[in-house]
Amino acid sequence: MKLPGFRVSWHNFRYTYSTWANPTGESIKALQAQLGHTNSRMTLDVYTQPMPRVQKKLAGKIARVLLPVAPKSKETVQTEGVLLN
């Protein structure tokens, strides 16, 4: 695929598609089938990369689960809108 000012190979397109499709919440098996992989491990290990926005969202979800039961400390630190005790 040729775009003015960009050079995108077919494999680069597949990597980008996989990375952006993974956090949509759709089945990894569906993504595996779209890419023609024989197993989902190939899809996850090779073709997807963690996205910073998704990692922050996951950290926030985990914090909401753990922080209500975490022992209280003397200092409270606020990071990315999530209170850390």
Q: Cα separation of 76 and 80, whole Å?
A: 13
Q: Report yes or no on whether pTM surpasses 0.85.
A: no
Range 6-26 average pLDDT: 81
pLDDT tens digits, one per residue of 19-71: 888 778 788 899 899 989 999 888 888 888 877 887 888 888 888 888 777 66
| Residue-range definition of the domain harbouring residue 65 | 2-84
**CA proximity to 43, closest of 8, 13, 11, 19:** 19
Number of domains in the chain: 1
Range 73-80 average pLDDT: 52
